[in-house]
Chain A
Amino acid sequence: NAGVTQTPKFRVLKTGQSMTLLCAQDMNHEYMYWYRQDPGMGLRLIHYSVGEGTTAKGEVPDGYNVSRLKKQNFLLGLESAAPSQTSVYFCASSYSMNRGETQYFGPGTRLLVL
């Protein structure tokens, strides 16, 4: 099993450009999450999904959109990138939100917005 994979690994954007980050998991997990990690801020939840076709806002959703058209994929979109969106983005998945379940994380995507 590949676990959770993220594409691309690194990207440089100019302000105003758009892009989509792809997350894929092969563990048949229902729940998927997008986090961003910034120095001194820890990881913060952007959006999450509790199943195919569903999405919900997390702690810092502004400037991002997501889609879960297939159970194994969770896409994070930036319509008009801003320098404040420079960060490391992590995708995670879990079987459920039960108290005994952990989340499995991808390797991250480093995004630099100039």
Chain B
Amino acid sequence: KQEVTQIPAALSVPEGENLVLNCSFTDSAIYNLQWFRQDPGKGLTSLLLIQSSQREQTSGRLNASLDKSSGRSTLYIAASQPGDSATYLCAVTGGTSYGKLTFGQGTILTVHP
């Protein structure tokens, strides 16, 4: 059974700092990995999707990497801003449940001015 773990569970940083969120998964037979953002009381918004054949994806200040063989992904946020404060969720598709997302528990990020 696929399991996804995110570290740390919570992170508080001052504005302007670069930061890294970590995600690991137990079954490397994935089809893709996604990073989502969730604001309090809101739904999920997809930030980046990395297909299994790719090593990284970039969008603005966000960069996500994927090392499928070791079962790890990182989300790098450059020059953090208070507006980046949210919960970040990692999810994988594939392995033993093709097409269905398996989520980690999320990292709660707080960026203070």
Interface residues of A in 91-107 (CB under 8 A from B): 92, 97, 99-100, 102-107
Bound Cα distance A106, B55 (Å): 29
A27 CB–B CB distance under 8 Å: no
Q: For A58, list chain B residues within 8 Å (CB).
A: 100
How far in angstroms is the closest Cβ of chain B from A7?
14
Stretch of A12-20, A40-48, A62-70 with 4 or more beta carbons under 8 angstroms from chain B: A40-48
With beta carbons under 8 angstroms apart, the residue of B44, B91, B98, B106 that contacts A90 is: B44
Bound Cα distance A45, B2 (Å): 13
Interface residues of B in 90-113 (CB under 8 A from A): 91, 93-94, 98-101, 103-106
B49 and A108 form a contact (CB under 8 A): no
Q: For A104, list chain B residues within 8 Å (CB).
A: 46
A97 and B45 form a contact (CB under 8 A): no
B74 CB–A CB distance under 8 Å: no
Known: A41-B105, A90-B43, A90-B44. A102 touches B100 (CB 8 A): no
B49 and A45 form a contact (CB under 8 A): no
In the complex, residue of chain B having the shortest beta-carbon distance to the beta carbon of A110: B41
A102 and B51 form a contact (CB under 8 A): no
Q: For A97, list chain B residues within 8 Å (CB).
A: 93, 98-100
Instruction: Write 12 A-B pairs (CB below 8 A) sorted by A numbering.
Output: A33-B101, A42-B104, A43-B101, A45-B100, A45-B101, A48-B100, A97-B100, A99-B32, A99-B52, A100-B49, A103-B46, A108-B41
10 interchain residue pairs of minimum CB distance: A97-B99, A99-B31, A105-B43, A42-B103, A105-B44, A102-B46, A43-B103, A42-B105, A107-B43, A99-B32
Could you tell me which B residues sit within 8 Å of A by CB distance?
Answer: 4, 31-32, 34, 36, 41-46, 49, 51-52, 89, 91, 93-94, 98-101, 103-106
A48-B100, A97-B100, A99-B94 given; 4 more Cβ-contact pairs under 8 Å: A31-B99, A43-B101, A103-B101, A106-B43
